[in-house]
Copies of this chain bind each other. A is one copy, B any other.
Amino acid sequence: MIQVAIMGHGVVGSGVANIITTHKKKLFESLGEEIYIKRILDLREFPDSPLADRFTKDFNDILNDAEIRVVAEVMGGIHPAYDFTKELLKAGKSVVTSNKELVAAKGAELIEIAKNNNANFFFEASVGGGIPILRPLVQCLVANNVKEIAGILNGTTNFILSKMIDEGMEFDTALKLAQDLGFAERNPEADVEGHDACRKICILASLAYGKHIYPDNIHTEGITKISLRDVAYASEYKSVIKLIGDVKKLDNGKIDIYVAPMLIGEKSQLANISDEFNGIMVRGDCTDDVLFYGKGAGSLPTASAVVADIIDSCMHLNERKYIFWADSNNESVLPYNESRTRMYLRLDSPEAEDMVNEIFGNVYVIAKDEELAVATDLMTVADIESNIQKLERKGVKVLSKIRISDL
Which positions in A face B, CB cutoff 8 Å? Answer: 15, 19, 23, 26-27, 29-30, 124, 130-132, 135-136, 139-145, 210, 269, 272, 284, 286-295, 300-301, 303-305, 307-308, 311-312, 315, 322
- Given the complex of chains A and B, what is the CA–CA distance between A293 and B281 in angstroms? 9
From A124, which residue of chain B is reached at the shortest CB distance? B140
B residues in contact with A142, CB < 8 Å: 26-27, 30, 307-308, 311
Is the beta-carbon distance between A143 and B287 smaller than 8 angstroms?
Answer: no
Q: Which of B136, B291, B295 contacts A288 (CB 8 A)?
A: B295
> Which residues of B lie under 8 Å from residue A144 when comparing CB positions?
23, 26, 304
Q: Give the complex CA separation of A124 and B23 in angstroms.
A: 26
What's the number of copies of this chain in the assembled complex? Answer: 2
Residues of B within 8 A of A130 (CB): 284, 286-288, 290
Among residues of B, the one whose C-beta sits closest to the C-beta of A19 is B143
- Taking a contact as CB atoms closer than 8 A, the residue among B136, B145, B284, B300 that contacts A135 in the complex is B136
Cβ-closest chain B residue relative to A18: B286
Q: How far, in whole Å, are A210 and B32 apart by their CA atoms in the complex?
A: 13
Q: Find chain B residues with CB under 8 A from A291 CB.
A: 291-294
A286 & B300 in contact (Cβ 8 Å cutoff): yes
* Residue ID in chain B nearest A284 by CB atoms: B304
A203 CB → nearest B CB, Å: 15
Contacts of A132 in B (CB 8 A): 132, 136, 139-141, 290
Instruction: Pick the 9 closest A-B CB pairs, nearest first.
Output: A132-B140, A286-B304, A132-B136, A130-B287, A143-B307, A290-B294, A291-B293, A286-B300, A143-B304
Give the docked Cα–Cα distance between A300 and B144 (Å).
Answer: 10
> In the complex, which residues of chain B have a beta carbon less than 8 angstroms from the beta carbon of A29?
210
With CB as the reference atom, state the residue of chain B lying closest to A16.
Answer: B143
- In contact, B290 and A131 (Cβ under 8 angstroms): yes
List of B residues within 8 angstroms of A272 by Cβ: 269, 272
Evaluate contact between B295 and A287: CB separation under 8 angstroms: yes
- A292 and B292 in contact (CB under 8 A), knowing A132-B140, A284-B304? yes
Q: Is A308 in contact with B143, judged by CB distance below 8 angstroms?
A: yes
Contact: B19 with A286, CB < 8 Å? yes
Kindly list chain B residues whose C-beta atoms are within 8 Å of the C-beta of A311.
139, 142-143
Decide: B308 and A315 in contact? CB cutoff 8 A: no
A312 to B142 Cα, complex, angstroms = 9
For A287, give its contact among B289, B294, B315 (CB under 8 Å): B294
Q: How far is the CB of A320 from chain B (nearest CB, A)?
A: 11
Please indicate the chain B residues that have their CB under 8 angstroms from the CB of A141 in the complex.
Answer: 132, 304, 308
- Nearest Cβ distance between residue A253 and chain B, in whole angstroms? 13
Given A26-B142, A141-B304, A269-B272, output 19 extra A-B contacts at Cβ < 8 Å: A19-B143, A23-B143, A23-B145, A26-B143, A27-B143, A30-B322, A124-B140, A132-B140, A132-B141, A135-B139, A135-B140, A142-B307, A142-B308, A144-B304, A272-B272, A284-B304, A288-B301, A291-B294, A293-B293
